Amino acid sequence: MLFLAGIIFTFQKSDPENIRPRELDTAITEKIKIGDLVLREGTSVQSQIISQLSDSKFSHIGIITSVGDVILVTHASNDEETNEAVSETTLDEFISFDLAHSVRIIRLKNIPVNVREKIALNAKQKIGQKFYLVSDSMSNSDKRMYCTTLIYDAIRQELPEFTLKWKTINMPAINGAFLMPSAFLETDNELIYSSEQK
């Protein structure tokens, strides 16, 4: 079952040397801070399946772990390019037209800057940890590692009271409670950027 679920939650490859970047104004990049969350509407068939399962167009999420000349995003993905593990990539690649139809960057409210930075560091320290999709209701759920739980667990290390709504899925290939990227949109958050805004 986990093998089939892994196929559903696989994200497509990209070629960093030939990506079609989504240009962000300097005014936007200067607003982006460590700990901000980046959601994308993926371009792959697998992303479409996740969108249907979650009733939201957003199929993947990462967290900003470095800002400056190059903005970096840490995320958990089940593809060969990331060695099926938590990895770090540039924001340019993460939100490129090759990988994202649309993008939204948000900042969770009421979290001090130093705590957001600790949350980002918690996620960054997981780089290299293997992707593992498992229902939160299963006995080995402590081993879970996919895009949303990477961030959720990093937040809860600093804010144990933080909670999100989990989605129950009942399918032959995947069954149980899973955390979808769109759950973060239900929090009290500030919109930093949306590709849908003109």
CATH 3.90.1720.10 fits 2-193, yes or no: yes
Q: What is the pLDDT of residue 4?
A: 38
**What's the maximum distance between 2 C-alpha atoms anywhere in the chain?**
46
Query: Domain-by-domain residue ranges, the chain?
Result: 2-193
Task: Report the amino acid identity of residue 134.
Answer: V
Q: What is the pLDDT of residue 36?
A: 98
In the chain, where do the E strands start and end? 37-42, 60-66, 72-76, 86-90, 100-108, 167-170, 175-178, 189-194
pLDDT, averaged in runs of 10, over the chain (198 residues): 42 54 85 97 66 72 96 87 83 88 94 98 96 68 83 97 90 80 95 84
Q: What is the pLDDT of residue 7?
A: 42
Q: What is the pLDDT of residue 135?
A: 63
Concatenating the DSSP letter of every residue in 169-190 gives: EE-SS-EEEE--GGGGGGSSEE
